[in-house]
Structures are given as structure tokens and as C-alpha cells.
Amino acid sequence: MPQNLLDFDLEGLTAWFTELGEKPFRAKQVFHWIHQSGVADFAQMTDIAKSLREKLQLHAVVQAPAISYAHTSNDGTRKWLFDVGVANGIETVFIPEDDRGTLCVSSQVGCALECTFCSTGRQGFNRNLSVAEIIGQLWVANRSLRGEVNRTASNHGAGEIAERPVSNVVMMGMGEPLANFENVVTALGVMLDDHAYGLSRRRVTVSTSGIVPAMDRLAERCPVALAVSLHAPNDALRDQIVPINRKYPLRELMAACRRYLVHAPRDFITFEYVMLAGVNDQPEHARQLIELTRDVPCKFNLIPFNPFPDSGYEKPRHDTLRAFREILQDAGYVVTTRKTRGDDIDAACGQLAGKVADKSGRVMKRMNQEAA
């Protein structure tokens, strides 16, 4: 079976080329063609010897997940559903802004962590994504978006635009990235590699619900910007809505955040906080957050809950959110409120569901509980 070259970082590709009897610099050439130029057809890699191109045609492919559909929101947000086999699909979202283009990348088919407010978690869990399926989301997005930009420029008489449209990557799509550690770290290495996408560590963010040992490993292996899905200021509440807290409670999580900052490219942790009306959005919750994070340099990203069917939660009132934010700001914290983008195509935070052939049995268990 041909080897999918999207599964390799540069070190892995060089080792594979060596097994083929090829010199290491050839791997670097092919790596450039794949990731910097977005080329999948070996015949188009014109500075490579014909004999090598023919060898690659026999032994290798460049194959990203196939697009099942692509939608564009009224605000310009793009969402792709990628087919990852056997009734499984993953979703990827591109958010264009004036100064950046951010791609939200998935790491698993579904999610096993069961955060109660997240549509992805309600779909159950099937499997981890491969390196090719993770980096393939970025590869496809750059190709698709660059093609659109170049067509627009051509229509206006401009030359081809070589820049890659994706300037920032956030591992905040479907799944818990640190539960698919090795594949995610390899994909991160490709994103950061100057011979591939050349993204800054400050422009690549991994979001985690708080798998403490994996946070420590990430700090050692590939320290990028870190976002922690916090969502509650005390263990009792977080145990209910973010069940991984029962294994790694807040005291351990805050200690892991402090350790991570020793290696991090930024001098703060971003705490993501989904605002759930009447659940975690009261003034006392804001004051508890201040006490909890007193020794952790951080900023808060408040996320108004994005509704999905049968979630059981509601979006907070605007004045409630404002009062919560002001308490944190008055205490000296930097606080942002995430603008809801792409909710008309279910591309907003917490709404990604894709298609999951659930192997965990959680969906059936929940249905039985609800029917009882």
C-alpha cells in the first residue's frame, strides 16, 4: 500500500527517503512541494529527477481527507466536513479577520471527555485522527483558500498571490488534542517547520480540558501557546460539566499551568470559559475565578454558550456577561469576549459535531437514560 507522505514530519520523511535509497536533500525538496506549494502530483515537482518522481508514483501518495461538503457563513467563516471513513466525518473551521486567518483543527473523531455543554462530546467517540488527517486539514484549507484568493486577484488583473491564507492554527476543533498526543505533536512539528508552514509557536495554540501529564509532556516536546478549557471556578461545579476534573482537579491543573509557563512561547495561559446561563455566570463565580488563578499569569476568553438541540443550556443575558467581565477586569485581568462566528452554519465554538460512528457506547447509554 502506498505511503501517505502527509503522515511524516521532515525527520520522518528523510528516514523514509533513506530507506528508498535517496539522499536526504530530496526529502526536503518534496516536503517543500507538498506543504509550501500544496502540490500532490509528483509529476508537477519539476526540480526533482524524473526517476525519483516515477519511484514516488509507485510507492507514495499525498492524500488529505476528502471534502464531503463546504459551507460559507454570512460573516465569511468557512466550514468543511471531511470524510474520514466508515460513516465518520470531522469538521474544520476557518475564521477570516483583518489581521489574521485562523484555522480551527480537529484531532479526534468525536470526543471521549463528555463535557456536557459541547455538541462534539454528545456524539460519542470513534478514534484518534492520524497525522495525515490532522495536517491534511491545514493542507486542504490553504489550497482551497489560496485558490479563491488567486481567482479573485486574477479577475482584478493582479498576479498570483503566494501567501498561505492560514496564519494561525488553534487545536480547538473536534476532540481533545492531548488525548491523541503523538499524532498531534508530529502535526504541530510540521506546522512550525520553516520548510513547511513556518508558523510561529505563538500563532499555534493547543486547547486542552486539563490532561495534566500530557500538558507536562507538551511543555517538553513542543511548547506552543496553551489554552485551557476551564469553564468552572470550583471542583464541585467543574466535576459536573467537565468530567476530566474528577481525575485532575483544579489544584493539580493550576500547578500544571504554572509549570507549562516555564517553557511556553507566551507569558500567560488563556483560560477558555463558556458562559452558561444560571450555571457558571454569576458574580460569585467570577470572584472564585480570581482566587483560583491568583498565582497563574493568565487572560480569560469568555465564550457565550452557542445553543444546539437538546443541550439543556442557554446563553447568558448580555448584562450578566458584562457584569462578570467587569469583575475580572477590575481585578486586573485581560478579558476578551469571543465574538460568535459562523453560528448560522453551526461552526461556532461548541457546535462542531461532524459525523461519529460512536464506539464508546455513550450515545446509546444516554438515549436509554433519557427514555427511562
Q: Got the DSSP string for 99-167?
A: TEEEEE---EEE-SS--TT-HHHHT-EEEEPPHHHHHHHHHHHHHHHHHHHHHHHHHTT-----S-S--
Dist. CA 262–CA 210, nearest whole Å:
17
Known catalytic membership, residue 91: yes
Specify whether 37 is located in the same domain as 91. Answer: no
Residue 271 pLDDT class (50, 70, 90 cuts) = very high
Active-site position among 104, 118, 257, 349: 349
pLDDT at 307: 80
**CATH classification at residue 39:** 1.10.150.530
pLDDT of residue 118 exceeding 90, the answer is no
pLDDT at 214: 98
Which residues, 6 or more positions from 319, have their beta carbon under 8 angstroms from its beta carbon? none
pLDDT digits (tens, 9 = 90+) for 69-114: 999 888 889 999 999 998 899 999 999 988 899 999 999 999 999 8
Specify whether 53 is located in the same domain as 73. Answer: no
pTM: predicted TM-score of the whole model, two decimal places: 0.90
Specify whether 138 is located in the same domain as 282. Answer: yes
pLDDT of residue 257 exceeding 60, the answer is yes
Closest CA to 91 of 74, 112, 71: 71
pLDDT at 154: 40
First vs last C-alpha separation in the chain: 48
pLDDT at 340: 60
pLDDT of residue 172 exceeding 50, the answer is yes
Which residues, 6 or more positions from 311, have their beta carbon under 8 angstroms from its beta carbon? 117, 119, 122, 305
Q: What is the 3-state secondary structure (H, E, C) of 288-314?
A: HHHHHCCCCCEEEEEEECCCCCCCCCC
Can you give the residue range of the structural domain that contains 333?
66-371
Known catalytic membership, residue 115: no
pLDDT at 87: 83
Specify whether 357 is located in the same domain as 344. Answer: yes
**CATH classification at residue 91:** 3.20.20.70
The domain total for the chain is 2
Specify whether 93 is located in the same domain as 47. Answer: no
pLDDT at 102: 96
Residues pairing with 272 in the sheet: 229, 301
pLDDT at 346: 52
- Say which range, 149-158, 169-178, 338-347, has the weakest mean pLDDT: 149-158
Among residues 39, 61, 83, the one where a domain terminates is 61
More confident position, 163 or 311: 311
pLDDT at 365: 63
Q: Are 107 and 175 in contact (CB under 8 A)?
A: yes
pLDDT digits (tens, 9 = 90+) for 225-237: 999 999 999 999 9
pLDDT of residue 161 exceeding 80, the answer is no
Dist. CA 247–CA 43, nearest whole Å:
51
Specify whether 90 is located in the same domain as 37. Answer: no
Specify whether 323 is located in the same domain as 234. Answer: yes
The residue to which cell 477586569 is assigned: 329
pLDDT at 74: 84
Active-site position among 91, 114, 133, 176: 91
Among residues 34, 61, 88, the one where a domain terminates is 61
Specify whether 196 is located in the same domain as 277. Answer: yes
Specify whether 172 is located in the same domain as 32. Answer: no
pLDDT of residue 368 exceeding 60, the answer is no
